Amino acid sequence: MTARTGPDDKLVARVMQFATRDLLEEAVRGVVGIASPTGHEAPLAEWISSQLAGRGLTTRIQRLDPWQANAVGVLPGRGDGPSVLLYAPLDTFTTGDPERDLPWAGPVMRTDMLARATVHGHLVEGLGAGNPKGHAACVMVACEALAAAGVALPGDVVAGFGAGGMPSFAVDGAGASGRANTGHGVGAGFLLERGFTTDHAVIAKPGWHVSHEEVGLVWLDVLVPGIHTYVGSRHRLPYRNAVAVAGEVASRLESWLEGYAGRHEHATMKPQGVVSSIQGGFERLAASTPAMVRIRLDLRITTQQTPPGVVREVARELARIGRELGADLRVEQVAAIPASRTPPDAPVVRAAVAAWEAVAGARHERVLANSGATDANILRMRGVPTARVGMPKVVVAPDGGPVDFTRGMNLVDLREMRRLTEVLVRTVLGLVDGDVPPRQEID
C-alpha cells in the first residue's frame, strides 16, 4: 500500500481537538514523575497502561522480569488494512539517584536531574522530560486522541513503550534481577517478538525532522598492560604504570577519533566516537599500580560498516600507538548494534514527511551528519519499516540560562509536544486512510 499525500485536514482537526494542552501536560508530568532507570521501568509501564486503558485502548503489560516491563496500548482496527506502531522508550540516560549519578553526570544534583516534573509556562522540566519521556507522552496523547475521536481504522494502531532503550548495561543496584541484557533495545525486541510486529513503525525521539536511517554502535575495550607493584619498591623493581600509559593511549585515541567520523561519513550519517571511561587499579590499595587498565570506547557505525570491521580498524591504530609507546595493546568487542535504513520511498517515511511538512508549513529537508542511535535500529532489524521523528531541543532554560546536554534531555516545550502529536496523528491517518464516523460531541 502506498502512502497518500496526507489525510483529510478536517479529520486531523477532529482528532487534534482531543490533544489538549492539559492532556499533554498531564501525560508528561505523569511519565516524568515516575523514575525509570534502565532495568527498572515496570512502575512507569504500569502507570501508562492504566492511563491508556481508561481512554479507550486495549492495554497489556509485557514483563521481561519483575522489574522491567513494556507497556502496550492497542486501538483495534477492522483487520483489513495495515497496522502501525507508534513507539517510544521509557528509560532515562541518568537515574535520578545522586548515589549513582554523581559525580559522573555533574558536581551537584540539579532539579532537572530529578524524577519530578516542574512546569514553567510552556516548559516542563524534570528527568527525561525531553528525551525520552516527552516523546512517550506524545505517543500516549496521539493514541488517546485517535480513540476519543472515534476514527474507524482498517488496521490496528499500537502504542508501544519499551524498556531498556538506552545504550546501557544494567544499572547496579537499581532493582534489576541480575540480568545483563537490560538495555540496548531489549524492550523493543521483546515487544515485536511477543505479539506486536506491525506493518509500519514510527519512533518518537528527538530531532525536528524525519529520519529514515541511523547509525549503529560498537563498544570496545582497550586493554593496557602494566606491572602490578608497590610504591615503596618503585625504585627497586621493574616499573611500568598502566594508568599513566592508559592516559597516553586515551589521548591519542581521542585525536584519532576526530578523523574517524569524516572517514566514514555516509548519506545522512556521520558516526562519532568517544573514549567514555577508564577503569583499573585497587581503590583500597592506593599504594599499588595495576597490572591492567581498561579503556572503553563507543564508536558509532554507518550502514557501510560492520562491527568486526571496526574492531580491525581500531586494532590497526592500537598497533601503531603500541609501537610508539612500547605497549602490547589489545582490543575486545563488548557490544554492537548494527546501523539500519528504511528506503526513503517507503510508505511510512513518505507519510511521516508529508505529516511533518503539513505541520511545519515548510518543505522537509534531510538533516545530515547524524550520529544518534535509537531503538529504530531494533525495529528495522526485526523487519518493520521505521521512520523517526521528534521535537527540537529546548535551547533556553526556564531561568534564561544556556542548555547543556543534560538539561536538554530534561526539558520539553508543551507547544512542541502538540506539534509532534499532530505529526504522529497525520502519519497514522496518512497510512491507514481512516474513515470519519458521525460527529460526536467532545467531552
Q: What is the pLDDT of residues 39-80, one digit of tens each?
A: 999 999 999 999 999 999 999 999 999 999 999 999 999 999
**What mean pLDDT is predicted for residues 173-186?**
76
What 8-state DSSP symbol labels residue 239?
Answer: -
Q: Is 441 inside any structural domain?
A: no
Place of cell 542548555: 403
Helix ranges (DSSP H) in 41-172: 42-53, 98-101, 133-149
**440 belongs to a structural domain:** no
CA gyration radius for the chain?
24
Percentage above 90 pLDDT, the chain: 91
In a domain, 174, yes or no: yes
**What pLDDT does 3 receive?**
47
Q: Nearest-CA neighbor of 254 among 311, 215, 296, 307?
A: 296
For the cut 70, the answer to whether the pLDDT of residue 182 exceeds it is: yes
DSSP SS3 for 164: coil
pLDDT in tens, 347-367: 999 999 999 999 999 999 999
In CATH, what number is assigned to the domain containing residue 76? 3.40.630.10
- Domain enclosing residue 298, as ranges: 216-337
Last residue of a domain, one of 273, 303, 337: 337
- Residue 241 and residue 280 in contact, taking contact as beta carbons nearer than 8 Å: no
Helix axes 133-149, 21-32, angle to 10 degrees: 140
Task: Say what the pLDDT of residue 25 is.
Answer: 98
Distance CA(90)–CA(96), nearest Å, equals: 14
Residue 5 has a pLDDT of: 59
CB contact set of 133 (below 8 Å; sequence gap of 6+): 28, 31, 32, 90, 92, 127, 412
Same domain, 155 and 17: yes
> Same domain for 31 and 165?
yes
Query: Does residue 318 sit in the same domain as residue 350?
Result: no
Cα distances (Å, whole numbers) of residue 426 to 7, 20, 52, 121, 435 = 6, 16, 20, 27, 13
Amino acid at 28: V
236 and 322 in a single domain? The answer is yes
Residues 333 and 346 in one domain: no
Please enumerate in sequence order all residues whose Cβ is within 8 A of that of 68, keeping only pairs 6 or more positions apart, or say none.
39, 40, 41, 42, 163, 164, 176, 177, 179, 182, 186, 187
- Give domain status of residue 351, yes or no: yes
Pick from 152, 149, 153, 165: nearest CA to 204: 165
What pLDDT is stored for residue 177 in this prediction?
60
Does 327 lie in the same domain as 179? Answer: no
Instruction: Decide if 332 is inside a domain.
Output: yes
- The reply to whether 67 and 181 lie within a common domain is yes
Contact present, 288 and 230 (Cβ < 8 Å): yes
Answer yes or no: do 327 and 274 share one domain: yes
What is the average pLDDT across 334-341? 98
Same-domain check for residues 235 and 345: no
* Tens-place pLDDT, residues 213-233: 999 999 999 999 999 999 999
Nearest to 394 by CA among 385, 403, 386: 403
Average predicted confidence (pLDDT) for the chain: 94
Q: Please give the tally of structural domains in the chain.
A: 2
pLDDT at position 172, please? 72
Domain at 300, CATH number: 3.30.70.360
pLDDT band at 1 (very low <50, low <70, confident <90, very high): very low
353 lies in some domain: yes
Helices (H), 240-306: 242-264
Q: Which residues contact 288 (CB under 8 A, 6 or more apart)?
A: 228, 229, 230, 231, 281, 282
123 with 37, same domain: the answer is yes
206 located within any domain: yes
pTM of the model: 0.94
pLDDT category, 171, cuts 50, 70, 90? confident
Question: Would you say residue 437 lies in a domain?
Answer: no
Q: Which cell numbers in the block locate residue 431?
A: 497510512
Element (H, E) at 23: helix 21-32
**Straight-line distance from the first to the last Cα atom of the chain, in angstroms, rounded to the nearest whole number:** 35
What are the pLDDT digits (tens) for 377-410?
999 999 999 999 999 999 999 999 889 999 999 9
Same domain, 58 and 181: yes
Residue whose C-alpha is closest to residue 229's, from 169, 311, 285, 273: 285
Q: Where does a domain end: 337, 361, 386?
A: 337
CB 118 within 8 A of CB 126: yes
C-alpha 417/C-alpha 64 separation (Å) is: 29
Q: What confidence score (pLDDT) does residue 173 get?
A: 56
For residues 284 and 328, membership in a common domain is answered with yes
Last residue of a domain, one of 319, 337, 355: 337
* Residues 178, 183, 186, 191, CA torsion sign: positive
